Amino acid sequence: MLHLRNLRVTIDDYEIINIDDLALQPGARLGLVGESGSGKTMTAKAIAGLLPNEAKVSGEVNFDGQNLLTLGDRDLAKVRGKRIGFVFQDPARSLNPMMRIGKQVSEAIRIHTNLKGQAVTDKVVDLLRQVQLPEPETLLRRYPHQLSGGQQQRVMIAAAIAADPDLLIADEPTTALDVTVQEEILRLLISLSEQRKMSLLFVSHDLGVVRFVCNQVAVIYGGNIVEAGNIDNIINRPQHRYTAALLAANPGMPKDDNFSAFIGRRLQTITGSVPPVGRFPSGCRFRNRCQHASEKCATTPPITVSASDHRYLCWHPEQGGQS
Amino acid sequence: MTSAATSPSPLVAVEQMYFHYPRARITAGGAGWTLQDISLTIDLKSTVGIVGESGSGKSTLIRVMCGLLRHQQGNVRFNGKDITEYQGDGANELRRQNQIVFQNPRRSLDPRMTIRRSLTEPIRALQQRTPDDDELVSSIKRVGLGPEVLSRFPHQLSGGQLQRVGIARSLSVNPTILYADEPVSALDVSVQAQVLNLLMDLRDQMGLTLVMVSHDLGVVSRMCEHIVVMRHGHIVEAGRTSDVLSRPSSDYTATLLKAARAASLERS
């Protein structure tokens, strides 16, 4: 349903994104995992046509057979918000502080559906109920500051699904929330995607969260998708050295609740830090931080596709390519 | 964090401590307090993790314990002496022994100062002396950075490097206890592990007492022998991390643990 091909985004001659192939099937939940500056948010913005003006974009963002990059503003507006919904990181900043909750959600309904009058209010109440907010009738009249962060994010999700989108793009939707609230919101996103057969593109820096929500994952570093495939395959048998290093550096929680064996255990580290945008090395983007890099890594690695559509860009894969 | 029997004189002892911020309205029912009825002890050379949701009072608690904020009721003792009694040179000594590393290293270093000057300041202020170059070089090397960093400004360093500088700065006055307030949550995932390992190594090498505020139960269960779980300004539960997390006695800790487990990777 969503298929990115040869998507390239540059700003001031710096290459921000270079993705040659990334697909999302109907109803699937794909995690796009990367650190700051990796290009994960820019990829989401490129799909939504929300890139800054100075960005140069080429390639294809195919959504249901249309290349969104070639659509004019008017046609794009019919897709964006209606067929593709968005949820961003900080709900407090995405909601209008001066507008009652009911009005903010109804805006999305008025723009994207033909409903009028009481039918709009009924729909708002229904949506707020679907995102499991208590007493939706009273909540309508509240302002964003009267809600907790988790409730605000539920309102954002209600607005995003107002027009029954086929795809929901959620960019770090729980990063600003407490861990207990995070779990509730993640469960909500999973159940909405299942009930509505809605695909989810879940952008996150956290592989633990992605494992909980998604069935597929794409790891992005330096604007390249370095590895993609089934979430369990990638977590259990990562091929790209960056994915493997990222997994090893994750503090995680002890297996079988063996807390006493966990104490004092050092983490595996990745040397150096993520380069600023545009300063990634040529060839393999990760090679200046990789312990296994050789001269060969200065040239762009080929895409290896192994069984069950597990694909990666690495000259020296973790398990010799056995996935 | 252990019973009085095993440790007759804890390094920090907090007793029925209450704290509110200025202009908070305290009601008869106890609303308005940021911290209520806090009692805990911290032994020399132990590592304590403080967890809880945002707004639970974790950061306020460590600021009261290290003397940056003044409590209104109850007692806070450092080395057996009430912290309100540390005056004059004593106040400097209290600050020297209680150092803190903040969440956002970019905001906690003066952007107009070179790293050299940022490292010199606490030594001048708290020990009334000017460190020589050798001392600064060894201080920066201890946190895994090269001497070339000394002449740089904060904007020339990455977040991970800056947090190392923040740690070097706190350790430059040779503290007894290091408080770290979410020291890695502003850092990239691939850099977090470096800084967490560094904190563990320095704690071991220097015999530091480490008190860390974190929202990440995984990090706390890896680094801290003792844990304090906070909610709404109260301590919900405290004890040895492995005991508390294996057999939580409060529903809140159990909920926290379940949520953390759901969204974390399992590591052996």
ipTM value, please give it.
0.86
Which of the residues B51, B155, B221, B224 would you substitute to probe the A interface, choosing the one with the greatest number of A C-beta atoms within 10 Å? B221
Q: Are B175 and B96 in contact (CB under 8 A)?
A: yes
Reported as a pLDDT band with limits 50, 70 and 90, residue B2 is very low
Q: Which residue of A has its CA nearest to B158?
A: A273
Does pLDDT of A44 surpass 60? Answer: yes
CB contact under 8 A, B246 and A259: yes
Instruction: Measure B85 CA to nearest chain A CA, in Å.
Output: 36
**Helix count (H) and strand count (E) of chain B?**
10, 11
8 Å CB contact of B222 and A251: yes
Contact B241 A263 (CB under 8 A): yes
Q: Which of residues 136-155 of A touch B (CB under 8 A)?
A: none
Closest by Cα among A166, A192, A162 to A1: A166
Residue spans of beta strands (DSSP E) within chain A = 2-11, 14-24, 29-33, 55-63, 66-67, 84-87, 167-171, 199-204, 216-221, 224-230, 253-254, 304-306, 310-312
* Cβ neighbours of B223 in A, within 8 Å: 263-264
Interface test with B, best of A210, A217, A231, A253 (most B CBs within 10 A): A253
Nearest residue to A17 (alpha-carbon basis) of A204, A246, A277: A277
Check whether A249 has a pLDDT greater than 70. Answer: yes
Identify the closest residue of chain B to A245 by CA–CA distance.
B190
Tell me which of A95-104, A171-180, B61-70, B252-261 is least confident: A171-180
For A29, how many CA atoms within 13 A lie in the half-sphere containing its CB? 22
Residues of chain A positioned with their CB less than 8 A from the CB of B191: 270, 273-274
Contact predicate A177/A152, CB 8 Å: no
Instruction: Report how many Cβ contacts below 8 Å link chain A to chain B.
Output: 133
**Inter-chain contact B267–A251, Cβ cutoff 8 Å?**
yes
pLDDT at residue number A308: 81
Q: How far is A272 from chain B (nearest CA, A)?
A: 8
* Residue ranges of domains in chain A: 98-158
User: pLDDT value at position A188?
Assistant: 96
Closest chain B C-alpha to A284 CA, distance in angstroms? 17
Instruction: Identify the pLDDT of residue B3.
Output: 45
Binary contact (A270, B197; C-beta < 8 A): no
φ, ψ dihedrals at A29, nearest 5°: -120, 110
Determine contact: A247 vs chain B, CB below 8 A.
Answer: yes
Give the C-alpha distances (Å, rounded to integers) separating A215 from A100, A239, B190: 36, 18, 23
d(CA B115, CA A314): 38
Tell me if A270 and B160 make a contact (CB, 8 A cut-off).
no
Helix, coil or strand: residue A171:
strand
pLDDT at A278: 80
Query: Is B193 in contact with A270 (Cβ distance < 8 A)?
Result: yes
Query: Using one digit for the tens of pLDDT, what is the confidence trace for B196-238?
Result: 999 999 999 999 999 999 989 999 999 999 999 999 999 999 9
Cβ(A231)–Cβ(A217) under 8 Å? yes
Chain centroid, CA B247 distance in Å:
25
- Residues of chain B neighbouring A258 (CB-CB closer than 8 A): 268
For chain B, give the percent of residues with pLDDT over 70: 97
Cβ–Cβ below 8 Å for B189 and A246:
yes
Contact (CB<8Å) A179/B258: no
Q: Which residue of A has its CA nearest to B191?
A: A273
Contact A258 B191 (CB under 8 A): no
Flag whether residue A244 sits within 8 Å of chain B, measured between CB atoms.
Answer: no
| B191/A273 Cβ within 8 A | yes
Question: Tell me: the pLDDT tens digits for B149-188?
Answer: 999 999 999 999 999 999 999 999 999 999 999 999 888 8
Q: How far is A34 from chain B (nearest CA, A)?
A: 9
pLDDT digits (tens, 9 = 90+) for A204-229: 999 999 999 999 999 999 999 999 99
- Token readout for A155 is 């309102």
What is the average pLDDT across A96-110?
94
Q: Per-residue confidence at B4, pLDDT binned at 50, 70, 90?
A: very low
